[in-house]
Amino acid sequence: MSVSAVKKGALPSKDHDRRLFDLFKNIWPSVTKAVPTKAAANSGAGREPDEMCELYPYLAEEVKALQKAHPGLFKREFTMIDDSKARALDEKIKKQRHAQMKLHLRRHDLTKEVTKMLMSDGVD
């Protein structure tokens, strides 16, 4: 990524370059005052579905589930999601799945506790 590209108002389109840009923006805010363009606002647009699946695995699984219920409806839209939005959605889905897993484990522990209680008190 070059500083001249930022001065021209073009934001980086590759995920790695975008992350570098965000880091540089935190370190040198005056250098990175680029005016967002319409193309930059949708920096993830036009990615291949396989690339999106690799970058955002949790989001990809959700889209695949939607595809099963509504074939052909979301595949194109998935590839057009802006990188920052896709990253945020992927993270939300990941957090939700972790919360679901914790809840599942707590339920399992409770079932185990109830079973132990019933077995120890019920049969003597």
Here the tokens at position 112 are 């185990």
30-44 pLDDT, tens digit per residue, is 554 444 444 444 455
**Closest to 52 in 3D by CA, of 13, 94, 92, 90:** 90
Instruction: Say what the pLDDT of residue 88 is.
Output: 95
The pTM for the full model equals 0.55
pLDDT at 9 over 70: no
Domain residue ranges of the chain, discontinuous segments joined by +: 1-43, 45-124
Instruction: Say what the pLDDT of residue 122 is.
Output: 57
CA gap 111, 25 in Å, rounded: 51
Instruction: Say what the pLDDT of residue 55 is.
Output: 93
The number of helix segments (H) and strand segments (E) in the chain equals 7, 0
In degrees, to the nearest 5, what angle opens at C-alpha 60 toward C-alphas 50 and 92? Answer: 140
41-89 pLDDT, tens digit per residue, is 445 557 888 899 999 999 999 999 999 988 888 878 888 999 999 999 9
State the pLDDT confidence band at 8, using cuts at 50, 70 and 90: low
Here the tokens at position 49 are 């579905």
Here the tokens at position 7 are 């001065």
